């Protein structure tokens, strides 16, 4: 693909040749021709088919599991159950933006005492064909004692609710409760004096909101291929956001040394946070270890919905007070997030983000992490933030409407800026919220007249972004091309961004840079793709590795010129002499130095192994126009504009893509997507027909504006961009719908029956 | 269950394979013919990632049985580029950054190609409704629709 010359010119004017251009995508050709190999596209000779037996019950004690008949079936090579996994002590470790507990992971991977949700893995088989594997599952006899179940946080928090974990005592409560409950944790954040704050308010709005669990909806189901030999050495190919994290989890669960497991991250068909944990991987390894054959496992779509993590549903009450001029005097929030069957909902970030876009003197946020008989939640794009910020942004909109203020002006009045202390502790450095609000106000979208039954909604959003451990290796090849190796799976074009940053730093043409995602044995520990960290943290490692290569290249030039190293500088792809007679010495290119590397000291390879610090937070503001069909309650998205700070857009095309994709997922969350349960605790819509994600004809073009307030911690000013785009849509759309129908909506999704009901209620009230 | 012997034309080449009565065309393409470009993401015809054409008709290969394709002509993503030449749709998808993870891309390209063969000058709305059977969770469809419209314009011009 030719690089767009206009973009090159634009970037050059800012003294950058590659960063900021729409450069080629190293994996592009393979992905448009069908060559790219994803999780389910790997096979080995002698491979077995692995299948999982799953609980049909939402909550049941497992009295016994009889595998004798299944084991005797010809073609069955291995069966694993809870007996094949060692129990783990309760121990919290970070995984992505969430904490995990191995006591819970081992139980989620394979049910032990109880099945805690419909779809919970109970046993797994490896057989020579899919039909034999299916038959073997049928022959496994599980004796269940079916127990009463709870699905929502509200049900689970009742004093008489059936308990998922009979020993769960709520953490974060003083004194500790004496009785077990389904509330795993209480968290609290407080600043100032909310009572005094509300006393100063001219208007106070208090509202309760409900959101439903929604699935990340990655198109590629979980899939892996495991191969363990007689010595216990293992290879694992899997679709994951973090193969090093998969290695850690599998080693722990299977009591193996890390050095004995090599994990290859295949191409990944979407993740959005949902592929940061393990489901099939330890099971496939266990089956392969037992059968001494390669075992391939692929989830069906039904299994993805029932047994992999959606994000939390929630119940929330938000109270905000403001003066007539729009200044917020106090904010209060109580949030209960559903964690699924095991503790660990994103309640902590939910609480921390709730009021993060605003400078609040007085705020108080309390959150509860509540377990219920649903699949354990997994991270989903800015985990926790879209839920609480939806509720807060809806209340702010209602206050603006009550006070007759423009919603953007109301936000500008309270917007966090550099120096604002966030409720969760730190002071913000340079941030771009005000810039996005100003850009929204000036955007033609904001002043375009609306038609009948239409409403315009605005909302802002915040996400922390993270840094963390990343490694990069840059091999300078003999012909002057370079191979860049990194360990963060490329989920949306990050290889292209890394190539641009490497080319920029080295001063060579981007076409000479090949970026590869390498396996866990080829590079140092690298944390997963998540937290919007890759372009920031792996980008920093890439730049550092390039600088390391440059140091070596300069040293080689010094050797050839027989001058001290401090008389050589690197300038745009060339080593140059400084000092006396410098003008008479022709610069040497990277390619020339590479060709002579063998004679000047050996191969040249730049390395960086870092823990990146200083990820700059990202803010965005979305503007959306909707039209409501008052006869059916259907909401149409007529126009959508995403304005977000990127710090620096390394590859603007993929930055825009993140903005647009996040907005589209938000449209689904706002209008259609939800987990629907029957009275039996079983999921009723475990397929793409009934779990209705937005399709092409549901959406308009999604305009984007990239604001650039550089992050001082990154060499090119990068902030993470991937997660913030899913934060504002639910509130923006709720605010638009509320303004279109003249009645406030407090529940997601705003599906046609609910909108219709609201319209009819307004009409019944003479509206 | 005994396997059935089937002959067909895939991407212009004659093929023969044995398949069980329960194997879908998608299973056959992926597991018997090693054509893994067509993706299995739902197995129920809701996502379009396994789109192929069968005697010119756009189908979800997960909804067709392998045994049904005797004597038929099948075109998959692997047959879209000709020699060194990418199809204009493939090139435009790269130019417009119309893919992120890329798992839906093969199905969308096959579907879009089928559209442009029928309608060389589709409107944005026509593109959106034609591709409504192809889910993409990453892009929000904006760049996909633009890439298809741009490819159509280029193909009309040439």
Chain B contact set for A664 (CB, 8 A): 139-141
Relative orientation angle of helices A102-109 and A243-254, to the nearest 10 degrees: 90
Do B73 and B101 sit in the same domain of this protein?
A: no
Model pLDDT, residue A6: 38
Model pLDDT, residue A455: 98
- H-helix segments, A456-578: 494-506, 539-561
The CATH number linked to B20 is 3.10.20.30
Relative orientation angle of helices A281-291 and A243-254, to the nearest 10 degrees: 50
Percent of chain B's residues with pLDDT above 70: 99
A475/chain B closest Cα distance in angstroms: 26
Euclidean distance between CA atoms A440 and A19, whole angstroms: 25
Model pLDDT, residue A95: 66
A660 and B140: CB-CB below 8 Å? yes
Do B33 and B10 sit in the same domain of this protein?
A: yes
User: Cβ distance A724 to A382 under 8 Å?
Assistant: yes
Q: Is the peptide bond before A749 cis (omega within 30 degrees of 0)?
A: yes
* Region A640-648 average pLDDT: 98
Model pLDDT, residue A99: 72
Decide: residue B85, CB within 10 A, 0-12 exposed, 13-18 middle, 19+ buried.
Answer: exposed
| A4 has a pLDDT exceeding 70 | no
B46 and A695: CB-CB below 8 Å? no
Domain boundary (B57, B79, B101) is at B79
| A10 has a pLDDT exceeding 80 | no
Q: Is B4 helix (H, G, I), strand (E, B) or coil?
A: strand
B77 and A269: CB-CB below 8 Å? no
Euclidean distance between CA atoms A46 and A37, whole angstroms: 20
Euclidean distance between CA atoms A468 and A85, whole angstroms: 30
Greater confidence, A3 or A309? A309
Do B144 and B96 sit in the same domain of this protein?
A: yes
Give the number of A-B residue pairs with CB atoms closer than 8 Å.
Answer: 183
Q: Which domain holds residue B128?
A: 88-157
Decide: residue A711, CB within 10 A, 0-12 exposed, 13-18 middle, 19+ buried.
Answer: buried
Nearest by CB to residue A699, choosing from B37, B77, B140, is B140
Query: How many CB atoms are located within 10 Å of the residue A710 CB?
Result: 17
| A1 has a pLDDT exceeding 60 | no
At CB < 8 A and 24+ separation, what contacts does A245-251 make?
Answer: A245/A95, A245/A96, A245/A276, A245/A527, A245/A528, A246/A278, A246/A281, A247/A520, A249/A95, A249/A100, A249/A105, A249/A277, A249/A278, A249/A281, A249/A282, A250/A278, A250/A281, A250/A282, A250/A285
Do B41 and B103 sit in the same domain of this protein?
A: no
Nearest by CB to residue B99, choosing from A31, A37, A687, is A31
User: Cβ distance B109 to B77 under 8 Å?
Assistant: yes
Q: Are strands A618-628 and A604-612 parallel, antiparallel or unpaired?
A: unpaired
**Token couple for A444:** 């033609």
Chain A contact set for B49 (CB, 8 A): 219
Percent of chain A's residues with pLDDT above 90: 95
- State the DSSP H helix or E strand holding residue A735, giving kind and residue range, or none if neither: helix A729-741
B97 and A36: CB-CB below 8 Å? no
- H-helix segments, B19-157: 25-27, 88-95, 105-118, 124-130, 142-157
Q: Is B54 helix (H, G, I), strand (E, B) or coil?
A: strand
Confidence bin at A7 (pLDDT 50/70/90): very low
Residues 6 or more apart in contact with residue A176 via CB below 8 angstroms: A169, A170
Domain boundary (B45, B79, B113) is at B79
* Region B126-151 average pLDDT: 98
| A747 has a pLDDT exceeding 70 | yes
B19/chain A closest Cα distance in angstroms: 13
A227/chain B closest Cα distance in angstroms: 19
The CA dihedral of B73, B76, B78, B83, to the nearest 10 degrees, is 50
The DSSP letter of residue A595 is H
* Region A129-151 average pLDDT: 98
Confidence bin at A202 (pLDDT 50/70/90): very high
Chain A contact set for B76 (CB, 8 A): 34
**Token couple for A286:** 């266990």
* Region A556-564 average pLDDT: 96
Model pLDDT, residue B158: 64
**Token couple for A246:** 């998969």
Round to the nearest angstrom and report the end-to-end CA distance of chain A.
56
Whether the predicted model's global pTM rises above the 0.90 cut:
yes
Q: Which residues pair with A636 in a beta bridge?
A: A627
Greater confidence, A171 or A5? A171
Q: Is the peptide bond before A175 cis (omega within 30 degrees of 0)?
A: yes
A25 and B105: CB-CB below 8 Å? no
DSSP codes, A124-163: EEEESSHHHHHHHHHH-EEEEEE-----SHHHHTSTTPPP
* Region A8-28 average pLDDT: 78
User: Cβ distance A311 to A377 under 8 Å?
Assistant: yes
A296/chain B closest Cα distance in angstroms: 13
**Chain segment A225-255, per-residue pLDDT in tens:** 999 999 999 999 999 999 999 999 999 999 9
| Closest residue in B to A690 (Cα–Cα) | B46
Question: Which of A381, A696, A700, A725 to probe by mutation at the B interface, max B CB count within 10 Å?
Answer: A696
User: Cβ distance B123 to B101 under 8 Å?
Assistant: no
Confidence bin at A582 (pLDDT 50/70/90): confident
Euclidean distance between CA atoms A239 and A275, whole angstroms: 8
Model pLDDT, residue B123: 98
| A96 has a pLDDT exceeding 80 | no
Domain boundary (B79, B106, B141) is at B79
Do B28 and B47 sit in the same domain of this protein?
A: yes
Q: What is the pLDDT of chain A when averaged over all its residues?
A: 96
| Closest residue in A to B104 (Cα–Cα) | A219
Model pLDDT, residue A579: 85
**Chain segment A696-712, per-residue pLDDT in tens:** 999 999 999 999 999 99
Euclidean distance between CA atoms A80 and A286, whole angstroms: 7
Model pLDDT, residue A253: 96
Do B17 and B50 sit in the same domain of this protein?
A: yes
Q: Is A11 helix (H, G, I), strand (E, B) or coil?
A: helix
Euclidean distance between CA atoms A509 and A214, whole angstroms: 43
User: Cβ distance A349 to A383 under 8 Å?
Assistant: yes
Q: How many domains does chain B have?
A: 2
B149/chain A closest Cα distance in angstroms: 13
Greater confidence, A99 or B65? B65
| A8 has a pLDDT exceeding 50 | no
Backbone angles phi, psi at A292, to 5 degrees: 60, 30
B70/chain A closest Cα distance in angstroms: 24
| A573 has a pLDDT exceeding 60 | yes
- Residue linked to tokens 């266990």: A286
Round to the nearest angstrom and report the end-to-end CA distance of chain B.
52
Euclidean distance between CA atoms A618 and A647, whole angstroms: 8
A696 and B132: CB-CB below 8 Å? yes
Q: Which residues pair with A114 in a beta bridge?
A: A61
Confidence bin at A580 (pLDDT 50/70/90): confident
A272/chain B closest Cα distance in angstroms: 9
Q: Is B71 helix (H, G, I), strand (E, B) or coil?
A: coil
Q: Which residues pair with B82 in a beta bridge?
A: B85
| A184 has a pLDDT exceeding 70 | yes
| A391 has a pLDDT exceeding 80 | yes
| Closest residue in A to B131 (Cα–Cα) | A696
Nearest by CB to residue B104, choosing from A2, A219, A665, is A219
Chain A contact set for B94 (CB, 8 A): 1, 24-25, 28-29, 32
Euclidean distance between CA atoms A208 and A737, whole angstroms: 17
Chain B contact set for A32 (CB, 8 A): 81, 86, 90, 93-94, 99, 102, 105-106, 109
Relative orientation angle of helices B105-118 and B142-157, to the nearest 10 degrees: 40
**Token couple for A57:** 């019950």
A34 and B76: CB-CB below 8 Å? yes
B101 and A268: CB-CB below 8 Å? yes
Confidence bin at A97 (pLDDT 50/70/90): low
Confidence bin at A593 (pLDDT 50/70/90): very high
| A9 has a pLDDT exceeding 60 | no
| A41 has a pLDDT exceeding 70 | yes
**Chain segment A708-725, per-residue pLDDT in tens:** 999 999 999 999 999 999
B137 and A665: CB-CB below 8 Å? yes
Chain A contact set for B95 (CB, 8 A): 1-2
Positive or negative: CA dihedral A263, A268, A273, A274: negative
The CA dihedral of A26, A31, A33, A39, to the nearest 10 degrees, is 130
Task: Enumerate domains of chain A plus CATH numbers.
Answer: 432-459+616-764 (3.30.365.10), 467-612 (3.30.365.10)
**Token couple for B121:** 């000058």
Residues 6 or more apart in contact with residue A180 via CB below 8 angstroms: A163, A165, A166, A167, A168, A169
Do B23 and B46 sit in the same domain of this protein?
A: yes
Backbone angles phi, psi at A309, to 5 degrees: -75, 120
A701 and B142: CB-CB below 8 Å? yes
Confidence bin at B1 (pLDDT 50/70/90): low
B43 and A270: CB-CB below 8 Å? no
Nearest by CB to residue A688, choosing from B91, B135, B136, is B135
Q: Are strands A454-463 and A363-371 parallel, antiparallel or unpaired?
A: unpaired
List the one residue out of A220, A43, A686 whose CA is nearest residue B105.
A220
**Chain segment A435-479, per-residue pLDDT in tens:** 999 999 999 999 999 999 999 999 999 999 999 999 999 999 999
* Region A216-221 average pLDDT: 98
The CATH number linked to B111 is 1.10.150.120
B64/chain A closest Cα distance in angstroms: 18
* Region A123-142 average pLDDT: 98
Question: Which of B34, B48, B100 to probe by mutation at the A interface, max A CB count within 10 Å?
Answer: B100
Nearest by CB to residue B97, choosing from A33, A493, A701, is A493
Q: Which residues pair with B17 in a beta bridge?
A: B6
- Residue linked to tokens 């080593």: A575
Chain B contact set for A270 (CB, 8 A): 100-101, 103, 137-138
**Chain segment A496-547, per-residue pLDDT in tens:** 999 999 999 999 999 999 999 999 999 999 999 999 999 999 999 999 999 9
């Amino acid at each position: 693909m030719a690089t767009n010359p206009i973009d090159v010119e634009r970037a050059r004017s800012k003294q950058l040749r590659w960063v900021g251009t729409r450069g080629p995508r190293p994996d592009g050709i393979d992905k448009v021709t069908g060559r790219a190999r994803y999780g389910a596209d790997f096979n080995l000779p002698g491979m077995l088919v692995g299948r999982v037996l799953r609980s049909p019950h939402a909550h049941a004690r497992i009295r016994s599991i009889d595998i004798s008949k299944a084991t005797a079936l010809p073609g069955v090579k291995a069966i694993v159950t809870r007996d094949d996994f060692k129990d783990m002590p309760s121990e919290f470790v970070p995984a992505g933006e969430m904490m995990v507990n191995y006591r819970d992971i081992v139980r989620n991977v394979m049910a032990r005492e109880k099945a805690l949700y419909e779809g919970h893995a109970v046993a797994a088989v490896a057989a020579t064909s899919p039909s034999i594997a299916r038959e073997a599952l049928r022959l496994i006899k599980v004796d269940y004692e079916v127990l009463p179940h709870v699905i929502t946080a509200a049900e689970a928090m009742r004093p008489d609710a059936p308990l998922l974990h009979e020993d769960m005592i709520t953490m974060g409560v003083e004194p500790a409760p004496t009785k077990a409950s389904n509330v795993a944790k209480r968290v609290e954040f407080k600043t100032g004096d909310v009572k005094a704050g509300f006393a100063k308010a001219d208007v106070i709005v208090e509202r309760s909101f409900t959101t439903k669990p929604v699935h990340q909806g990655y198109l590629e189901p979980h899939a892996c291929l495991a191969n363990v030999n007689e010595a216990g050495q293992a290879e694992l190919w899997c679709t994951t956001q973090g193969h090093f994290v998969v290695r850690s989890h599998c080693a722990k669960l299977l009591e193996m040394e890390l050095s004995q497991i090599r994990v290859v991250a295949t191409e990944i068909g979407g993740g959005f946070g949902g592929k940061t944990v393990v489901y099939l991987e330890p099971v496939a390894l266990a089956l392969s270890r037992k059968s001494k054959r390669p075992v391939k496992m692929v989830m069906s779509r039904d299994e993805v919905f029932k047994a992999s993590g959606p994000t939390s549903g929630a119940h929330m009450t938000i109270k905000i007070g403001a003066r007539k001029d729009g200044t917020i005097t106090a904010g209060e929030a109580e949030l209960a997030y559903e964690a699924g069957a095991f503790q660990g909902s994103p309640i902590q970030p939910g609480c921390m983000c709730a009021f993060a876009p605003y400078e609040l003197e007085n705020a108080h946020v309390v959150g509860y992490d509540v377990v219920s008989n649903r699949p354990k939640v997994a991270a989903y794009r800015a985990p926790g933030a879209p839920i609480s910020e939806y509720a807060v942004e809806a209340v702010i909109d209602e206050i603006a409407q009550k006070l007759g203020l423009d919603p953007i002006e109301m936000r500008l009045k309270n917007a966090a800026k550099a120096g604002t202390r966030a409720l969760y502790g730190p002071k913000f450095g340079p941030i771009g919220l005000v810039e996005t609000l100003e850009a929204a106000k000036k955007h033609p979208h904001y002043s375009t007249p609306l038609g009948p039954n239409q409403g315009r909604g605005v909302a802002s959003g915040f996400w922390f972004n993270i840094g963390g451990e990343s490694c990069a290796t840059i091999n300078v090849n003999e012909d002057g091309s370079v191979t860049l190796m990194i360990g963060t799976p490329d989920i949306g074009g990050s290889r292209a961004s890394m190539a641009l940053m490497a080319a920029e730093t080295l001063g060579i043409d981007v076409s000479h840079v090949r970026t590869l995602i390498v396996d866990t044995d080829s590079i140092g520990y690298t944390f997963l793709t998540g937290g919007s960290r890759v372009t920031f943290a792996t980008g920093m490692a890439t730049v550092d590795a390039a600088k390391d290569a440059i140091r070596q290249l300069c040293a080689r030039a010094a050797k050839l010129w027989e001058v001290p190293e401090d008389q050589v500088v690197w300038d745009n792809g060339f080593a140059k002499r400084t000092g006396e007679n410098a003008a008479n010495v022709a610069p040497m290119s990277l390619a020339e130095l590479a060709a002579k590397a063998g004679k000047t000291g050996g191969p040249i390879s730049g390395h960086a192994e870092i823990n990146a610090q200083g990820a700059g937070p990202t803010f965005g503001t979305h503007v959306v126009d909707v039209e409501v069909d008052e006869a059916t309650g259907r909401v149409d998205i007529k126009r959508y504009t995403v304005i977000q700070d990127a710090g620096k857009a390394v590859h603007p095309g993929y930055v825009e893509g993140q903005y647009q994709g996040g907005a589209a997922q938000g449209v689904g969350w706002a209008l259609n997507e939800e987990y629907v349960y029957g009275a039996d605790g079983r999921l009723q819509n475990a397929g793409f027909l009934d779990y209705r994600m937005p399709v092409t004809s549901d959406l308009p073009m999604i305009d984007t504006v990239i604001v650039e307030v550089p992050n001082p911690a990154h060499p090119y000013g990068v902030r993470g961009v991937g997660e913030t785009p899913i934060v504002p849509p639910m509130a923006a759309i709720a605010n638009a719908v509320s303004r279109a129908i003249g009645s406030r909506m407090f529940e997601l999704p705003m599906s046609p029956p609910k909108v219709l009901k609201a319209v009819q209620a307004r009409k019944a009230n003479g509206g | 269950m005994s396997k059935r012997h089937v002959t067909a034309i895939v991407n212009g080449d004659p093929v023969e394979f044995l398949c069980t009565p329960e194997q879908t065309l998608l299973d056959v393409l992926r597991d018997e013919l090693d054509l893994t470009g067509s993706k299995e993401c739902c197995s129920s015809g809701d996502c379009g990632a396994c789109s192929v054409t069968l005697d010119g008709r756009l189908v979800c290969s997960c909804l067709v049985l392998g045994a049904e394709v005797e004597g038929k002509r099948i075109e998959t993503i692997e047959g879209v580029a000709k020699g060194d030449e990418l199809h204009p749709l493939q090139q435009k998808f790269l130019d417009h950054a119309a893919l992120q993870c890329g798992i839906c891309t093969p199905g969308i390209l096959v579907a879009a190609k089928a559209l442009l063969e029928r309608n060389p000058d589709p409107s944005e709305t026509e593109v959106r409704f034609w591709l409504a059977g192809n889910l993409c969770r990453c892009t929000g469809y904006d760049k996909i629709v633009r890439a298809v419209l741009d490819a159509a314009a280029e193909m009309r011009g040439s």
